[in-house]
């Protein structure tokens, strides 16, 4: 979820050395976010302060370098307006220990998926949009749809195993993704996207019933395989 949107977006935009700096900044920022979440869940326990401080400083330095070296710094800076409320919502969830809630999952998935558009900050776009062209937003939409499905599916396999409401929500959502994929622009190979989402819909319906005791490792490996398949499909497109 951290690597796929940025990787696909960068290759679609035309990978350059600046994207590597953006990737490092994004990964360190994630570590800062994760450390801050632990600190807040522990109600600001002092043991987490050194990690929060170290990653925050590293993120600030790397972020400054990323902005200053960006081909379109203003396009990149506008993303701060987008990410600030997402960060606030997620950190608030950590503070109230609701970091595993569907709301927080949706916020973090949205933040990750939008990196496909952030990677297009090298491409001038409309003044009223932060980021690049319409194709970039289509990529982000596909990734967002996929990762939201991942959230529901994984919950049916681990934390919400046996929860009928969650299972029905997962199956229904994955089924809805199939026709939605057919509406995506032709440059994203929509028939093949629909085929992939159809396979994922079958998985969402069958696996929780046929293999309800699958280990988290097995579930995770399945998600890696699905993510790689989606990434390759989008890169070919």
Among 5, 8, 6, 2, smallest CA distance to 236 is for 8
Task: Single out the residue in 67, 101, 127 at which a domain terminates.
Answer: 127
Whether residues 150 and 98 share a domain: the answer is no
Task: Single out the residue in 70, 92, 127 at which a domain terminates.
Answer: 127
If you write DSSP's letter for every residue of 73-106 in order, what string do you get?
HHHHHTHHHHHHHHHHHHHHHHHTT-TTSHHHHH
Whether residues 139 and 28 share a domain: the answer is no
The model's pTM is: 0.91
Q: Tell me the pLDDT band of 183, cut-offs 50, 70 and 90.
A: confident
Give the angle 65-69-70 at the CA atoms, nearest 5°.
115
Tens-place pLDDT, residues 128-172: 455 556 788 889 999 999 999 999 999 999 999 999 999 999 999
> Residue 151 and residue 107: Cα distance in Å, rounded?
11
Domain count along the chain = 2
Task: Single out the residue in 107, 127, 147 at which a domain terminates.
Answer: 127
Tens-place pLDDT, residues 156-165: 999 999 999 9
Whether residues 166 and 193 share a domain: the answer is yes
Token pair, residue 198, equals: 């159809």
Q: For residue 92, give its domain range.
A: 1-127
- What burial class does residue 20 get, using C-beta atoms within 10 Å of its C-beta: 0-12 exposed, 13-18 middle, 19+ buried? exposed
Whether residues 116 and 230 share a domain: the answer is no
Contacts of 82 (CB under 8 A, 6+ apart): 114, 130
Whether residues 37 and 113 share a domain: the answer is yes
Among 114, 50, 49, 40, smallest CA distance to 84 is for 114
Whose tokens are 């070919």? That residue is 236
Fill in the DSSP letter of residue 42. Answer: T
Residue 187 reports pLDDT greater than 70: no
């Amino acid at each position: 979820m951290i690597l796929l949107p940025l990787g696909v977006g960068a290759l679609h935009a035309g990978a350059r050395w600046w994207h590597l700096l953006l990737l490092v900044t994004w990964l360190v920022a994630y570590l800062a976010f994760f450390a801050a979440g632990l600190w807040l869940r522990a109600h600001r326990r002092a043991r987490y302060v050194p990690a929060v401080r170290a990653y925050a400083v590293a993120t600030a330095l790397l972020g400054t370098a990323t902005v200053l070296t960006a081909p379109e710094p203003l396009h990149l800076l506008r993303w701060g307006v987008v990410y600030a409320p997402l960060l606030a919502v997620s950190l608030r969830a950590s503070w109230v220990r609701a970091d595993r809630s569907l709301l927080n999952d949706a916020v973090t998935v949205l933040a990750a998926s939008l990196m496909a558009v952030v990677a297009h900050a090298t491409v001038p776009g409309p003044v009223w949009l932060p980021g690049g062209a319409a194709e970039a937003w289509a990529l982000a939409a596909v990734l967002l749809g996929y990762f939201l499905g991942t959230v529901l599916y994984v919950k049916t396999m681990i934390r919400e195993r046996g929860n009928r409401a969650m299972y029905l929500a997962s199956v229904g959502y994955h089924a809805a993704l199939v026709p939605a994929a057919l509406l995506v622009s032709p440059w994203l190979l929509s028939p093949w996207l629909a085929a992939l989402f159809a396979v994922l819909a079958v998985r969402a319906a069958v696996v929780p019933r046929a293999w309800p005791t699958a280990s988290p490792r097995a579930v995770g490996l399945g998600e890696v395989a699905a993510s790689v398949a989606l990434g390759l499909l989008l890169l070919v497109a």
